[in-house]
Structure 1
């Protein structure tokens, strides 16, 4: 018997791949030619730089979930996690009749070819250099629903006082996600779950333990444009010091 050691990043890749394979089992039914024709038809006049319209011409609704795969560190007021974001929305430009194209129910399309929400980790300590997951596939369903699960290496500011750590033995850290440009008039964001996901399978940290999480939707306004509302999804992690 051979034992293969996987680092956290490789392990996360196989976990994500397994999840995506699980949710698409039995949904890929057509032939290669069916998928080729469908791919060409869907993207022929598609404009990826334009956000899709929501129901009744309203905002596109994006559902957001945070999965934590590894707790790397909490030091110097910076929380470092390996995560993936599970995002889903409906793009009515990517619909097709279920009875066409060999009864194909889903199609895998490189994410760089379709619109994706400009949702960013707003309290990141790292400079934004663009979306690193542009070559990952999205899963497109026949009804226009799109699922995208980009892998992230998240570093967030988590200010805490060492005296309070030794007194209370816990610290709260938040990860805040929102659209960079869109208000709720054109893009509305909601959390899929009320907590952070995957903690039972997370690679733990020997110094810290995540003991509680919650997800909240906040509505923010800014002095520049106080008639606009900007939805924010905030994930709060309660972290206990182990030693």
Structure 2
């Protein structure tokens, strides 16, 4: 059991009780302005590629970016553009200098994102819904849920056992693009430092049968 300090309790009460924060409303005061969302799917492991059912299963982090700052991965810097939740901003001096708050991601607004070529329903799974997020006084949010991704992958075995397969993960938001502008961080840095990071991390992707040889992405 975690005993929270009085400033933290007061901050939670301010954000989610007094302000009556609405997690179903876009996190901007001007709803004519689209919310820019950057997404990065970080593959941790190929769990399975079932040739019979043609289904690829991945263990991955789904990183969604809310705040503007530098992310460090080994020696690689990515200047990622995140969005700010204007309903979750506060003055740290009013809450004992508290600059961040850990919350259940189920309490805050999130872009409704899913895979459109998945055998599962287009929705967040239970593991994502029960994940936590860090909210910053600026309104920035760190949310990087780990999840299992299932997607159809039409395999071609003509070169077996030296075959290579190309699998797609089609990610969309249920929001119209005028409300949520979804961008792939892969495609933003596809020709630069991110590709270097992916290749350096290749070993962690491998299983007994398959390994990741390349990752590409584009926004449409």
Distance 1:153 1:61, change over 3 A: same
Q: Note the alpha carbon deviations across 1:181-223, whole angstroms, 9 max, x for none.
A: x1111011112243585844625212111111112111xxxxx
The change in CA–CA distance for 1:85 and 1:38 in structure 2 (over 3 A counts) is same
Structure 2: tracts of 5 or more residues without a match: 67-83
Q: Distance in 2 between matches of 1:86 and 1:42?
A: 24
TM-score after normalising by structure 1: 0.69
- Alpha carbons of 1:112 and 1:201: their partners in 2 closer, same or farther (altered >3 Å)? farther
Question: What SS is found at the alignment partner of 1:202?
Answer: helix
Q: Distance in 2 between matches of 1:105 and 1:53?
A: 20
Q: Residues 54 and 131 (structure 1 numbering): CA distance in 2 closer, same or farther, change over 3 Å?
A: farther
Q: Which one scores higher on RCO, CA 8 angstroms, separation ≥ 6?
A: 2
After TM superposition, list the pairs within 5 Å mapping 1:20-35 onto structure 2: 32-35=5-8
Change (3 A) 1:211 1:200: closer
* Backbone CA RMSD of aligned residues: 2.4
Runs of 4+ that moved beyond 3 A:
54-57, 127-131, 165-168, 193-201
SS across alignment from 1:171 = coil
2:134 matched residue in structure 1: 139
Give the TM-score, by structure 2 length.
Answer: 0.76
Secondary structure of the corresponding residue to residue 37 of structure 1? helix
CA contact (8 A) 2:49 2:56 kept: yes
Correspondent of 1:39 among 12, 16, 30 = 12
Q: How many angstroms does 1:83 deviate by?
A: 0.9
Determine the structure 1 residue equivalent to 2:43: 68
Please say if residues 71 and 202 of structure 1, whose CA atoms lie closer than 8 Å, have aligned partners that are also in contact: no
> Residues 72, 35 of structure 1: CA spacing in aligned structure 2 closer, same or farther, 3 A cutoff?
same
Q: Map 1:8-157 onto structure 2 (within 5 A).
A: 32-44=5-17, 45-53=20-28, 57-76=32-51, 77-89=54-66, 90-128=84-122, 130-132=124-126, 133-157=128-152
Q: Which runs of 5+ in 1 are unaligned?
A: 1-30, 219-243
**Number of residue pairs aligned between Structure 1 and Structure 2:** 186
1:7 is aligned to none
Structure with the largest fraction of strand: 1
Task: Pick from 164, 170, 183 the counterpart of residue 176 of structure 2.
Answer: 183
Distance 1:175 1:54, change over 3 A: farther
